[in-house]
């Protein structure tokens, strides 16, 4: 397959692995004192485990799994607010399938659907706009969530609804941005990180310049990477070479897709429709300054928070994670998923306690599916 197989070539992978082993040795890192590289994006976490890269690289290199899974970081309070909106008899609540099984304090969206709420899966926010057009007697709400990757498509759906004069379409906006949580992690005195593999899809939209503070203010290297095994190995090697040489730069391994200054059309749509919230709650990580986006007043009639008086404009409350849940510690890289006491016992994909176990980008789901945890549990 063109543009895929060349990024999975075993010979090239072996050459990169040999180079990684050599540079890890030159750094002097060992299994007891490894060099710690965080892959920010949950898509990268899954690629690392799917291709077994964590086992092919030397023990002196440790992958730390970051908070870049938008479904995982959604707090339970926001799921509760989704359920509250969806319970209204006049509402059709639309969402991507990934969010259906994320637990709230009382129920997930799929449980609310089973109890009678009109909740429908869509593949695009424009599907929700189309549904609103076809059902003028119902309020159609789209669950907007995700990082800068999905933020523009939600913005375009709001612009489309405004152009069409739709009065029965709105968005429950949970869009978040990547740089603030990286800053929060770097400000955490307990966090020891040597460098980052930066997200590919997000960077396609925002470019590489928003990461410059990481090298300038914190002296850490970041290399934006693609999602194939050679992309990841190459990016890791680029980070390691910087660490060995005492350099801290923002580099772009994924230049075939990521422009330095991002995608101007997407950035213009984002700037037109949203403004930063003062702060936003992240599951397990708490409130992070300027990390969430809100729909601007110019598009207020499409803001479900304003329309239904829920969320930050109303009585938003912070909800504690369930007892024993270690999602925050996993997302901030303090422990591995298997370090959570609930992993595989109180929390499985069938009966999730935390979102990291059900999201297709969740670190716990990666360990479950690719590390044999599922098979171990089935054998018990």
68 vs 337 by CB, closer to ligand SF4: 337
Question: Applying CB under 6 A, which part among 124-132, 169-177, 309-317, 350-358 lies near ligand SF4?
Answer: 350-358
Question: Applying CB under 6 A, which part among 5-13, 246-254, 268-276, 319-327 lies near ligand SF4?
Answer: 319-327
102 vs 233 by CB, closer to ligand SF4: 102
The token pair that represents 322 in the structure block: 């369930």
Q: What is the DSSP string of 30-81?
A: -SSS-EEEEEEEHHHHHHHHHTTHHHHS-TTEEEEEEEE-TTTTS-HHHHHH
The contact pattern for ligand SF4, residues 272-311, with x = CB under 6 A and - = no contact, is ----------------------------------------
Cα–Cα dist 146/152, whole Å: 10
CA distances for 141 relative to 89, 94, 188, angstroms: 12, 6, 37
* Among positions 158, 340, 366, 373, the unique one binding ligand SF4 when judged by CB under 6 A: 340
Cα–Cα dist 155/300, whole Å: 13
Whether the Cβ atoms of residue 92 and residue 133 lie closer than 8 Å to each other? no
Least Å distance, CB 364 to ligand SF4, is 3
Kindly state whether residue 342 participates in binding ligand SF4, applying the rule CB under 6 A. yes
* Among positions 357, 361, 366, 373, the unique one binding ligand SF4 when judged by CB under 6 A: 357
* Among positions 155, 354, 361, 373, the unique one binding ligand SF4 when judged by CB under 6 A: 354
| Phi, psi torsion values for 120, nearest 5 degrees | -130, 145
* Among positions 184, 233, 364, 366, the unique one binding ligand SF4 when judged by CB under 6 A: 364
234 vs 283 by CB, closer to ligand SF4: 283
Kindly state whether residue 327 participates in binding ligand SF4, applying the rule CB under 6 A. yes
Contacts of ligand SF4 in 189-228 (CB under 6 A)? none
Question: Applying CB under 6 A, which part among 26-34, 145-153, 208-216, 339-347 lies near ligand SF4?
Answer: 339-347
Kindly state whether residue 146 participates in binding ligand SF4, applying the rule CB under 6 A. no
Cα–Cα dist 257/262, whole Å: 10
First to last CA, the chain: 40
Kindly state whether residue 229 participates in binding ligand SF4, applying the rule CB under 6 A. no
Cα–Cα dist 354/62, whole Å: 24
Kindly state whether residue 42 participates in binding ligand SF4, applying the rule CB under 6 A. no
Map residue 311 onto helix, strand or coil: helix
The token pair that represents 184 in the structure block: 């929060």
Kindly state whether residue 71 participates in binding ligand SF4, applying the rule CB under 6 A. no
Least Å distance, CB 233 to ligand SF4, is 27
Kindly state whether residue 24 participates in binding ligand SF4, applying the rule CB under 6 A. no
Whether the Cβ atoms of residue 247 and residue 229 lie closer than 8 Å to each other? no
Kindly state whether residue 337 participates in binding ligand SF4, applying the rule CB under 6 A. yes
Query: Which helix (H) or strand (E) is 206 found in, with range?
Result: helix 200-206
Kindly state whether residue 69 participates in binding ligand SF4, applying the rule CB under 6 A. no
Q: How many residues bind ligand SF4 (CB under 6 A)?
A: 14
Kindly state whether residue 49 participates in binding ligand SF4, applying the rule CB under 6 A. no
Q: How many CA atoms lie within 13 A of 185 on its CB side?
A: 30
Least Å distance, CB 203 to ligand SF4, is 26
78 vs 307 by CB, closer to ligand SF4: 78
145 vs 171 by CB, closer to ligand SF4: 145
Give the contacts of 221 (CB within 8 A, at least 6 positions apart).
Answer: 195, 196, 215, 238, 239, 242, 243, 247, 248, 249, 250, 251
**C-beta nearest to ligand SF4: residue:** 354
Residue 245: how many other CB atoms lie within 10 Å: 13
Least Å distance, CB 105 to ligand SF4, is 14
Q: Which residue has the tokens 């990481």?
A: 214
Q: What would you measure as the largest C-alpha separation in the chain, in angstroms? A: 67
Pairing type for strands 139-146 and 169-175 reads parallel
The DSSP secondary-structure symbol of 100 reads T
Q: Which residues bind ligand SF4 (CB under 6 A)?
A: 325-327, 330, 337, 340, 342-343, 347, 353-354, 356-357, 364
């Amino acid at each position: 397959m063109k543009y895929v197989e060349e990024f999975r070539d075993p010979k090239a992978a072996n050459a990169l692995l040999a180079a990684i082993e050599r540079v890890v040795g030159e750094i002097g890192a060992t299994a007891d004192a490894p060099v710690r590289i965080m892959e920010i994006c949950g898509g990268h976490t899954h690629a690392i485990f799917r291709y077994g890269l964590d086992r092919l690289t030397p023990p002196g290199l440790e992958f730390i799994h970051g908070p870049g899974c938008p479904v995982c970081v959604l707090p339970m309070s926001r799921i509760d607010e989704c359920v509250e909106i969806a319970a209204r008899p006049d509402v059709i609540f639309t969402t991507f399938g990934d969010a259906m099984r994320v637990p709230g304090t009382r129920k997930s969206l799929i449980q609310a659907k089973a109890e009678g709420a009109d909740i429908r899966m869509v593949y695009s926010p424009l599907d929700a706009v189309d549904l609103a057009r076809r059902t003028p007697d119902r309020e159609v709400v789209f669950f907007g969530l995700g990082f800068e990757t999905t933020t523009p498509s939600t913005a375009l759906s709001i612009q489309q609804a405004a152009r069409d004069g739709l009065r029965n379409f709105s968005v429950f906006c949970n869009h978040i941005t990547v740089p603030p949580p990286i800053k929060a992690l770097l400000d955490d005195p307990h966090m020891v990180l040597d460098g980052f593999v930066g997200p590919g899809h997000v960077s396609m939209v925002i470019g590489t310049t928003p990461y410059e503070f990481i090298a300038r203010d914190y002296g850490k290297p970041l290399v934006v990477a693609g999602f194939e095994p050679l992309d990841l190995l190459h990016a890791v090697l680029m980070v390691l070479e910087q660490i060995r040489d005492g350099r801290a730069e923002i580099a772009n391994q994924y230049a075939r897709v990521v422009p330095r200054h991002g995608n101007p059309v997407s950035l213009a749509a984002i700037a037109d429709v949203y403004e930063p919230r003062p702060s936003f709650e992240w599951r397990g990580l708490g409130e992070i300054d300027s990390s969430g986006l809100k729909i601007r007043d110019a598009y207020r009639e499409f803001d479900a928070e304003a329309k239904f008086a829920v969320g930050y404009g109303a009585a938003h409350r912070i909800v504690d994670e369930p007892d024993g849940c270690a999602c925050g510690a996993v997302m901030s890289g303090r422990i591995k998923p298997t370090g959570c006491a609930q992993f595989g016992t109180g929390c499985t994909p069938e009966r999730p306690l935390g979102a990291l176990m059900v999201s297709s980008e969740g670190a716990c789901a990666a360990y479950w599916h690719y590390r044999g945890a599922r098979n171990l549990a089935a054998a018990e």
